[in-house]
Structure 1
Amino acid sequence: MTKITLQRSAELPDDLRVARSLSAPHLGPRLLFFSGGSALNKISRALKRYTYNSAHLITPFDSGGSSQVLREAFDMPAVGDLRSRLMALADESELGQPDIYALFSHRMPKAVPNAPLRAEVEAMVAGTHPLVKAVSSPIGLLIRDFLRAFLVAAPMDFDFRNASIGNLILAGGYLAHGRLLEPVLFLMSKMVDVRGTVRGVVDCNLQLGVELADGRQIHGQRQISGKEAPPIESPIVRLFLSEHGKEVVSGSVPLPKRNRKLIRQADLICYPPGSLFSSVIANLLPAGVGRTVARCEVPKVYVPSLGTDPEALGLGLADRVAALLAPLRADAGMEVPSTRLMTHVLCDTSEDPVACAEVTARHGIPCHRLPLVSDEPERYDRELVCAALVSMV
Structure 2
Amino acid sequence: MPTDRKQENDFKVVAVGGGHGLPIALKSIQKYSQNITAIATVADDGGSSGRLRRELAVLPPGDSRNCLVALADDNLISRLFQYRFTCGEGMAGHALGNLIIAALSELTGDFSTALAEAGKLLKAKGKVLPPTDEKVTLCARLEPEGTIRGQCNVANRLRSLVSIWLEPTNSRANEEAVAAIKAADQIIIGPGSLFTSIFPNLLVSGIRDAIEGSKAQRIFICNTMVQAGETDGFTAEQHITAIFKYIGRGLIDTAIINQSSFSSQHLSELAKINVTPVAAGENNLAELDMEVIFADLADQDYPAHHDVNKLARVLSGQADKI
TM-score bracket, normalised by the shorter chain, equals: 0.7 to 0.9
**TM-score, L = length of structure 1:** 0.70
Equivalence for 1:346? 256
Specify the SS of the correspondent of 2:164: strand
Is the Cα–Cα contact under 8 Å of residues 235 and 313 in structure 1 kept in the other structure? no
Is the Cα–Cα contact under 8 Å of residues 214 and 234 in structure 1 kept in the other structure? no
Equivalence for 1:192? 122
1:180-227 Cα deviation digits (max 9, x unpaired)? 2011111111121111111111111121111224352221111222xx
Aligned residues: 299
Equivalence for 2:200? 282
Is the Cα–Cα contact under 8 Å of residues 290 and 327 in structure 1 kept in the other structure? no
Change (3 A) 1:113 1:27: closer
Equivalence for 2:21? 39
Equivalence for 1:89? 71
Specify the SS of the correspondent of 2:44: coil
* Residue from 97, 101, 117 that aligns with 2:78: 101
Change (3 A) 1:34 1:321: same
Q: What are the equivalent positions in structure 2 for 1:155-170 lying under 5 Å apart? A: 159-170=90-101
Pairing 1:295–2:213 present = yes
Equivalence for 1:183? 113
Specify the SS of the correspondent of 2:35: coil
Structure 2 letter corresponding to 1:73: E
Equivalence for 1:316? 235
Change (3 A) 1:296 1:391: same
Q: What are the equivalent positions in structure 2 for 1:197-276 lying under 5 Å apart? A: 197-225=127-155, 231-232=156-157, 234-242=159-167, 248-249=168-169, 252-276=170-194
Query: Would you tell me which structure has more helix in proportion to its own residues?
Result: 1
Equivalence for 1:359? 285
Specify the SS of the correspondent of 1:392: helix
Instruction: Tell me the percent identity.
Output: 22
* Matches of 1:196 and 1:171, distance apart in 2: 20
* Matches of 2:213 and 2:25, distance apart in 1: 27
Q: What are the equivalent positions in structure 2 for 1:104-115 lying under 5 Å apart? A: 104-109=81-86, 112-114=87-89
Equivalence for 2:263? none
Change (3 A) 1:253 1:188: same
Specify the SS of the correspondent of 2:20: coil
TM-superposed deviation, 1:26 = 5.0
* Matches of 1:168 and 1:43, distance apart in 2: 25
- Structure of higher CA gyration radius: 1
Pairing 1:374–2:305 present = no
Is the Cα–Cα contact under 8 Å of residues 174 and 181 in structure 1 kept in the other structure? yes
1:317-347 Cα deviation digits (max 9, x unpaired)? 3332122234543xxxxxxxx4x42111111
Is the Cα–Cα contact under 8 Å of residues 31 and 312 in structure 2 kept in the other structure? no
Structure 1: 5+ residue stretches without partners: 1-16, 93-97, 115-158, 226-230, 243-247, 330-337
Change (3 A) 1:291 1:187: same
Structure 2 letter corresponding to 1:82: S
TM-superposed deviation, 1:82 = 0.6
Is the Cα–Cα contact under 8 Å of residues 40 and 273 in structure 1 kept in the other structure? yes
Equivalence for 1:134? none
Specify the SS of the correspondent of 1:27: coil
Structure 2: 5+ residue stretches without partners: 261-277
Root mean square deviation, CA, Å: 2.3
Is the Cα–Cα contact under 8 Å of residues 39 and 128 in structure 2 kept in the other structure? yes
**TM-score, L = length of structure 2:** 0.85
Change (3 A) 1:51 1:60: same
